[in-house]
Each structure stands twice: as C-alpha cells, then as structure tokens.
Structure 1
C-alpha cells in the first residue's frame, strides 16, 4: 500500500539508450500515470558511458526513485528462433552459452552470455533494468501487420539489420545481420588486392587478351535493353518526370553520397543472402515471400527499395522509425504505463 502511495506521488522516469556505430542516443520520458510529462533526447559522440553521458543520465535518475534504464541489444551474436520449446532449441542455435527469453510463449530471442555480461559491466555505474532485443522491437513496431498473412519484416539500423519472416504472428525465420563499415570493406579490398598482387609476382603470370573469357555473372542480364540504359542516363536527367521530382523532394529517399549508396547495396546483398537461406535451409518452414515491410531507422535511399523490388520482385513498404522512442515504448509495456 505504501509503495503504491509513493508511486502516485513520484513521476516515472524512463531512460533509454541506443548505441549506434559512432554515437549513442539517450532518450528520456518523464511519465505521470499514463501521461508523458516531458521528453528529452540527446546525442553523444561516443559508444561508451563517458562522464558527459553519465552526468546527463544521473540528472534524471535523481528526479525520481522510480527510474528505469533500458538499452537496445546491439551485440552481433544474437538472434531469434521460431520456437519456445527447450527441446527444439538445438535445431536452430546453441543456447547453452546464451541468455534467452520467450516472446508471448511463441518464439524466442537470445544473446550470448558474454555479450550480456559485457553490457552490464559497461553500464554498471547506472545499472540496466531492461535489455531489449531488436526482434522484440520489430514485432512491436509492426504489430498491426504481423498478425496478417506471410511477410518479411526488416529493422534497419546503421550497423545491423534484423530480419524476421512472420505468418499470422508465427515466426518462421529470423536473422541478425552485421553491417561492415566502409573502412572494414576497404581493408578487405586492400588485403585481397595485396594477396592477388603477391600471387601474380610469385607465379610470374602473363595474360593474353585472347585467353580472357566473359564471366558467367554477365549471363544474369535478363534483357539486352539494360545495356542501352547506360547511354540514356544523361538524357533522362534532362527530362525528369513528376515521379522523379516527388522522390527528390523527399530527403530521406535521395542518395546523399556514395557511402549511402554503397551501404544500401550492402543491406540489399545481406537481405538477399538471408532470403536464400530461408528458402533453401531445411530447418525452416519456407514460404514464398511477396511483401516486405521495412522499419527504417537510418533514412535509406530510394535505391534500397528499388533493389528489393526489381531484383527480388518484392512489394516493399518502408515506414520511418525513431528507434529510441520505440525502445521506450517497450519499456512502457513492461511497466504497464
């Protein structure tokens, strides 16, 4: 009874942490009963709990004894499996070295124990009340869709993709995909070039032009008219139709630079491989996917949507998502606010 009285007197403070590739977002909501009294969001150019971030969070911790700190799990060694039955876990993943939790007793999400310990250690100065899975966030964000027919759902963060295939709220497949940074990709390319260079020097290879054969990949061109499009690019840029002008008016769809273009192609490639696994791996009850729903937390370009539509023949629907407030919504569900 006394605790209920104190809860009525004090506000509830929800502190939510989202760590990205090179920054951390801290989003705070102060709630009174079922109402939000105030919202504050601050970005920090660090991925660790430094003194500036600690001071910011500690300020809100002092506002009320009823504060709750949540973080979105960004560890690479996490995932979700289409069962909540312990004796079926081994069919999909080794959970003996992982912490897991069932979602509505229908499917389970997990992360490695080592990553969980590392997170708790990193934020020991403030403590963590909730560590949320991106798959829980994905299911909540598309709660109005996953109860319907089969579709694939994708949560796009700057460093990760979380892919789930649902049919009438039943999880059929899930994959957490790690995005490499541009520097990592450049390093890989450099290493490959060096290895190839060493190979050429060691073997003293000489190549005759007559010996070069066309690579098999070029057989994938469905229509020779695709080659003509290369010559028409300049003309098309001078004769823009209404649809193109509408796309240009949406800053979230316009490719700002080569980095965004390359990252969206990398996202497409990861999704393509993931879909291939869903179709081919016998452990999954594969179905033919037609519709794809994207929770866009980064501002993907129009090229990303085009890749999925034109290369994989999906119907693609992109919905903008503010990831830190969505984490806060998960905390509210836990606290029944």
Structure 2
C-alpha cells in the first residue's frame, strides 16, 4: 500500500477517452499528478478507423507512465435500454441474441457481447479499460433532473439519437436511433461465422471482465463491467402528435431512413425532430410502456445543433425544452476518474 502510494506520487496518471462519430475519431487526454489536473489535450483524426496516427498519439501518452486508463464510448447500433432488470422480459424489448446487461437500480442498459469483443480487438494496439454506455452518460449528466416527473431526456450526437423517458430516476422508455445513412461500421460488425460458437454466461452482471477471453482462440465467458463497463487492458489480459409509425419491432434501436422531406432540403434538425416525434408516439402507443403525458424535454447536445430543433419541439409538440451543451469527451474522462477512485 505504501509502495503504491509512492509510485502514484512519482508518476502522472493519464486518462484517455475515445469518441467515434460519423466521420472522425476524437481523443481527449487528462494528465493528473496527485489528483490535480496538470495538462489536458484534444485531437481529432479524420477517420473511424484505428490509424497509425491515432495509435502513435495514444502511445505517446501511455509511454510516460504505468498508470493510464483508456475509455471508449460505445457506438454500436445494437445497444439499448429497457425499463426492467428482469431477464425474462428482455426479449420484449430486443431481439439481441448475446446481450451484456447492466442493471441500474431497476432498469437495464445493454449492448452486444460480440461488439464488446470486437471493440477490444479493434483497439488492441493500446487496449481498453472502460467501455461506457451512452445511457450511463444520460443518467449521470441529468442526475439532477431524472428524479422528477416523467420527462424526455435526449442525447444528440452527430450520427445518433438516444430518446429516453425517466420518472423518479427510473427509465420508462428508451430508443437508440442510428442517423447514419451508410452501412454500419464493418470494423465492429457481427461475426456471423462465429456467433454459434459463443458460449456466454447470460446471467446479469454489473460489469464485463475480459480476463477469460482468448481472442486468438474463440470467445470465452464474459463477466463483470461496473456501473459503467469495465475492461481489463490487453497487456494484462488481464413531445406528441399523430404520426404514422412503422409497426414496432422488439428492437430497442432502429436505423433512420431519409424520406422525401430530406430530399426536398429539410435540415438536419428537422430529421432529428421527426425521429423524436416518432419515438414519442411509440412511447404513447406501445402497450408495454407505462406511459404518462410528457410536458418537458431535456436535451444533451454533443455536436452542432441549431435552435431549430428546440423550436420544432416547442411549436409542434408543445413541449418545454431545455438544452444543455455536453462535452462528451470530457464527460467520459470524468466517468473514468470516478470509476478509478
């Protein structure tokens, strides 16, 4: 214990967060000494891929200290959330075959175990310590609001939307909408040839632990990701209106398809308004959700958004709308620091 304290006092502690969006990868770095922020860095790489430049950039920081923690924001299209922690109810909300579920005091967030493994393989040049769910970001960013009456809580990113309803800190509804018009990222696509060989423990866990996974020899069991997903490094292996909606599927996420209005020149904020309107209508009409009338919407904006989105929601759906700017790269750093206390 004493030796550990001495070592921590001698070396910097480096936190690195990686955010992948439609056409780029953003990296934030905080360098701490004895709990005090000494330096911060930010860099953007013009690709979703793990380029040599990205590897060199990350490596330049982790070479300075044995104490570094690398986090990734989950950007897989298979992720979602459900208003229950009961395993028997999972397939009411998703068709995902190999889910990793995390119970948050009565509600679950989930993602694909296959995508977790693929992330670990994709970023194996430097390894991952944490994979954070955007639902954890929403829960933390709006912690002062979700404990109240039923309201919309929305996370807007460049290529996705997450629409949720919280009441008394309980998730009541969720939908992940992929706003990208091209094909999903091939680098994290499902490994169809290997799916039948997966042998996962399907019991709910708090976290995912990759210690038992031999990436070169198939997949083993995945255990443990704390309240936010915790991975061991490779080094250790260690608003409301009548709208026409498609028949709801059991998927907790969907892909946005541009319609004629987009071709006619409607802006990006109108596209976002349209899917929020559709999602809210599903919340009101789908019998499996305990719906209540929504009067307010809280929006966390993690990319450029004009005032149009707020205006559409207020004028068309008669919602009271509150917008907060979210520096999501910094938010992931803060979550990692709390996880590593």
Give the TM-score taking structure 1 as reference length: 0.74
Whole-Å separation in 2 of the counterparts to 1:259 and 1:122: 38
**1:145 Cα deviation after fit:** 1.1
Aligned to 1:85: 86
Gaps of 5+ in 2: 184-241, 244-262
**1:32 Cα deviation after fit:** 2.4
1:123 to 2:112 alignment:
no
Give the TM-score taking structure 2 as reference length: 0.73
Aligned to 1:224: none
**1:259 Cα deviation after fit:** 11
**1:311 Cα deviation after fit:** 1.0
Q: Which has the larger radius of gyration?
A: 1
1:120 partner SS: helix
Task: Indicate if the aligned counterparts of 2:22 and 2:180 stay in contact, CA closer than 8 A.
Answer: no
Aligned to 1:239: none
**1:303 Cα deviation after fit:** 1.3
Whole-Å separation in 1 of the counterparts to 2:107 and 2:14: 30
RMSD: 2.1
Task: Indicate if the aligned counterparts of 2:101 and 2:108 stay in contact, CA closer than 8 A.
Answer: yes
Task: Indicate if the aligned counterparts of 1:28 and 1:39 stay in contact, CA closer than 8 A.
Answer: yes
Task: Indicate if the aligned counterparts of 1:292 and 1:315 stay in contact, CA closer than 8 A.
Answer: yes
**1:96 Cα deviation after fit:** 4.3
Moved over 3 A (4+): 258-261
Aligned to 1:299: 304
1:277 to 2:278 alignment:
no
**1:6 Cα deviation after fit:** 1.9
Whole-Å separation in 1 of the counterparts to 2:174 and 2:296: 16
Task: Indicate if the aligned counterparts of 2:74 and 2:133 stay in contact, CA closer than 8 A.
Answer: yes
Aligned to 1:50: 51
2:267 partner SS: helix
Q: CA-to-partner distance for each residue in 1:1-30, whole Å, 9 max, x for gaps?
A: 133332233221101000010011000001
1:13 partner SS: strand
Whole-Å separation in 2 of the counterparts to 1:94 and 1:102: 18
Whole-Å separation in 2 of the counterparts to 1:330 and 1:85: 26
Q: 2:292 aligns with which of 287, 290, 295?
A: 287
**1:299 Cα deviation after fit:** 2.2
Task: Indicate if the aligned counterparts of 1:261 and 1:303 stay in contact, CA closer than 8 A.
Answer: no
Task: Indicate if the aligned counterparts of 1:261 and 1:301 stay in contact, CA closer than 8 A.
Answer: no
Aligned to 1:112: 112
Whole-Å separation in 2 of the counterparts to 1:141 and 1:301: 21
**1:156 Cα deviation after fit:** 0.3
Aligned to 2:331: 326
Q: CA-to-partner distance for each residue in 1:115-158, whole Å, 9 max, x for gaps?
A: 22221111011111111111111111111111222211111001
Aligned residues: 263
Aligned to 2:139: 139
2:287 partner SS: coil
**1:35 Cα deviation after fit:** 2.0
Matches within 5 A, 1:28-43: 28-43=29-44
Whole-Å separation in 1 of the counterparts to 2:45 and 2:176: 25
Task: Indicate if the aligned counterparts of 2:78 and 2:96 stay in contact, CA closer than 8 A.
Answer: no
